[in-house]
Amino acid sequence: MSSLTLRLDSGQVLGLLGVNGAGKSTTLAMIAGALAPDSGAIKLNGKDFLEHPELARRVIGWLPERAPLWPELTVSEHLEAHGRLRGLRGAELAQARRRIVERLELGTLARRLAGVLSQGQRQRLGLACALLHGPHLLVLDEPANALDPVQVAALRGVIREQAAAGTAIILSTHLLAEVTAACDRVAILHEGQLRYDSAIEGGDHKALEQTFFDIAMRGNGSNNRMQAA
Amino acid sequence: MSVIAVTRLELRRLFVRPLAWVLAALTLAQLAWRFTLLLGGFLAGQIKLAALPGGPGYTDLVGVPMLSSILTGGALPFGVVELALVIVPLLTMSSIAGERSNGTLPLWFAAGLPASRIVLGKYLALMLWLVLWLALALAMPLSLAHGVTLDWGKLASASLGLLLTLAALAAIGVACSAYASHASIAASVALTLGLALAGVDIAAQKAGATNGVSGWLALSSHLEAMLRGLVSTADIAWFLIVIVVALALATQRLAAEKERG
């Protein structure tokens, strides 16, 4: 990755577009605190996570591309473990678990081992773990991968709900339709650089598609088209 | 607090995996067999031994030999130390390498945990399991404490030596798991290192090298004194050095992984 500046407001959904290998997952891992950048700052409400990594624990929720789960633990144990890692305890943890199990309809899976879940169920559990502690910033790396259309619609519902509640969301994908359906801003990464950053206006899919292909195929359409969000 | 969260989760994972239970069952069964044989030998020679002034008692013939073959030789089934050389690498192999293959390692970083706390949390969980295992092994000779004269000091010294040995082997296992890409590689390397540490002095003697370096490096020479009832600061320091160095290496590897991805 090279110099990348992104600013996201509360309640905003940013779609991070790019071809495979563009640097989306690396960027999101850095934002989530899983990977340390060589330089720079990642701030939420003016506080830098790199200087205070424990802050990320309470305010960021992260769902990596392949939901990371411990195959030998049950769905319920995952929620418990994630809650504790994110600083939830006692009644607060129990309440958060109840709320997320109900919202993502995980009740029937609660005692099932993560190792035997289907891909869609794994993704749902990963999302539950990311949302459990009520994060202010939600980082989703290709969350619609391996989901069927019904699950994709449900996921969009959750994203809209979270955004309406004031959560800032970054959603990485290589699907243009996903961005236009769920996001109100789009940023395009190419070869580790930010090439485009703009609000999505009136669902202009064709223009966005053209821009994306310009950047992805020819590597141009870059700085001169970049706009401040 | 976060170390406790890591320890708690690691313990949970350890106890729901069949491997830990199978290892515990097999090794305790084998130790029970060793205990029976040692006890049989003690009972058979009891009258003769009672006639010897200052002759070996229950602690020398059953209690301490239960823990290690170092003093008794290898004619009987393995003692706790010999079994630990094999089971500790098997227990520790997945502690970090397993997380790496599950893709769950970044979750710990994302939770804002420094590498040192992740390593320490996992190490503590493994140690809790090993302490429990050691307690069950010690329960066998201690079960007859009401009917025999135990040398409590010698048994305590031997138990401390065993505990430090388990702690050193676990730290080496965690370090190997931090560096290895697969759990099986971690187990193989940890086993090799453990065996090398245990037998470096014997190998050196056989090769004709009788300098003090191989003796100082060898785990057995530090453990042997404790099994005989002699606790010295130098021996404890050796174990602590091994533990600290191994855990520091594991921490350094994890921290580098967060830096490099």
Q: Break chain A into its structural domains and give their ranges.
A: 13-69+135-225
* Contact: A69, B104; criterion CB under 8 Å: yes
Residue B108 with chain A: CB contacts under 8 Å: 85
Give B260→chain A minimum CA distance, Å. Answer: 7
At residue A125, what is the residue type?
A: L
Residue A93 corresponds to which tokens in the numbers above? 């943890």
| Lookup: tokens for A106 | 């995980």
* Dihedrals phi, psi of B184, to nearest 5 degrees: -65, -35
**Closest residue of B to A58, CA-based?**
B111
How close does chain A come to B16, measured CA to CA in Å? 7
Query: Which residues have C-beta within 8 Å of that of residue B16, sequence separation ≥ 6?
Result: A72, A73
Characterize B188-225 residue by residue with b for buried, 16 or more Cβ atoms within 10 angstroms of its Cβ, and e for exposed.
ebbbebbeebbbbbeebeeeeeeeeebeebbbbbbbbe
pLDDT at B204: 66
Structure confidence at residue A229 as a pLDDT band (50, 70, 90): very low
Q: Which token pair is A191?
A: 């070869």
- Closest partner residue to A62 among B16, B17, B110, by Cβ? B110
> Residue A224's pLDDT is what?
40
Give the number of A-B residue pairs with CB atoms closer than 8 Å: 72
In B121-213, at which residue ranges do the beta strands (DSSP E only) sit?
none
Task: State whether residue A91 sits within 8 Å of chain B by CB.
Answer: no
Weakly modelled stretches of chain B, pLDDT under 50: none
Interface of B with A (CB under 8 A): 1-2, 5, 8-9, 12-13, 16-17, 102-104, 106-114, 258-259, 261
User: Quick one: DSSP state of residue A49?
Assistant: T
**C-alpha span between B226 and B231 (Å, rounded):** 5
Q: How far is B238 from chain A (nearest CA, A)?
A: 34
Q: What's residue B151's pLDDT?
A: 86
Does the CA dihedral B128-B134-B137-B143 come out positive or negative? negative
Residues of A in contact with B103 (CB under 8 A): 64, 66, 68
- The minimum CA-CA distance between B116 and chain A, rounded to whole Å, is 14
Which of A38, A51, A70 would you mutate first to test chain B, the one with the most B CBs within 10 A?
A70
Cα B168 to Cα A87: distance, rounded to the nearest angstrom = 31
Of B16, B102, B111, the CB nearest to A85: B111
Nearest residue in A to B8, CA atom: A81
The answer to whether residue A222 scores a pLDDT higher than 50 is: no
Contact B187, B98 (CB under 8 A): no
pLDDT in tens, B39-89: 888 888 877 777 777 778 888 888 888 888 765 665 667 889 999 999 999
Q: What are the angstrom distances between the C-alpha of B98 and each of A59, B122, B161, B186?
A: 27, 12, 30, 10
How many beta carbons lie within 10 A of that of residue A178, not counting itself?
A: 20
| pLDDT tens, residue by residue, A89-128 | 899 999 999 999 999 999 999 999 999 999 899 999 999 9
- Give, in degrees to the nearest 5, the angle at Cα A177 between A160 and A150: 60
Contact assignment for B103 to A77 by CB distance below 8 Å: no
Which positions in chain A touch B21 (Cβ < 8 Å)? none
| Contact at CB, B8 and A64, closer than 8 angstroms | no
The ipTM, to two decimals, is: 0.83
Give the residue from B238, B13, B1 showing the smallest Cα distance to B126. B13
The reported pTM is 0.87
Distance from CA of A185 to the nearest CA of B (A): 25
Residue written as token pair 């960021």: A60
Q: What is the full DSSP assignment across B58-126?
A: HIIIIIHHHH-STTT-SSSSP-HHHHHHHHHHHHHTTTTHHHHHHT-HHHHHHTT--HHHHHHHHHHHH
Q: Is the CB of A36 inside 8 Å of chain B's CB atoms?
A: yes
Q: Mean pLDDT across the stretch A11-17? A: 93
Let me know: does A188 contact A212? Beta carbons within 8 Å. Answer: yes
- Contact between B67 and B80 under an 8 Å Cβ cutoff? The reply is yes
Chain B: closest CA distance from residue A29 (Å)? 8
Contact A68 B9 (CB under 8 A): no
Q: How far apart are CA A113 and CA A124, in angstroms?
A: 14
CA dist A100 to A70, A126, B175, Å? 19, 11, 37
Q: CATH homologous superfamily of domain A13-69+135-225? A: P-loop containing nucleotide triphosphate hydrolases (3.40.50.300)
Residue A104: DSSP 8-state: T
Q: What is the Cα B187 distance to its own chain's centre? A: 14
Is the CB of A29 less than 8 angstroms away from the CB of B113?
no
Answer whether B103 sits within 8 Å of A66, measured CB to CB.
Answer: yes
Q: Which residues pair with A15 in a beta bridge?
A: A171, A186
Q: What are the tens digits of pLDDT across the range A127-176? A: 999 999 999 999 999 998 878 888 889 999 999 999 999 999 999 987 88
Given a cut of 60, whether residue A223 has pLDDT beyond it is: no
Domain count, chain B: 1
Provide the b/e sequence for A58-86 (b: ≥16 CB within 10 Å).
bbbbbbbbbbbbbebbbbbbbbbbbbbbb
Numbers of helices and strands, H then E, in chain A = 8, 8
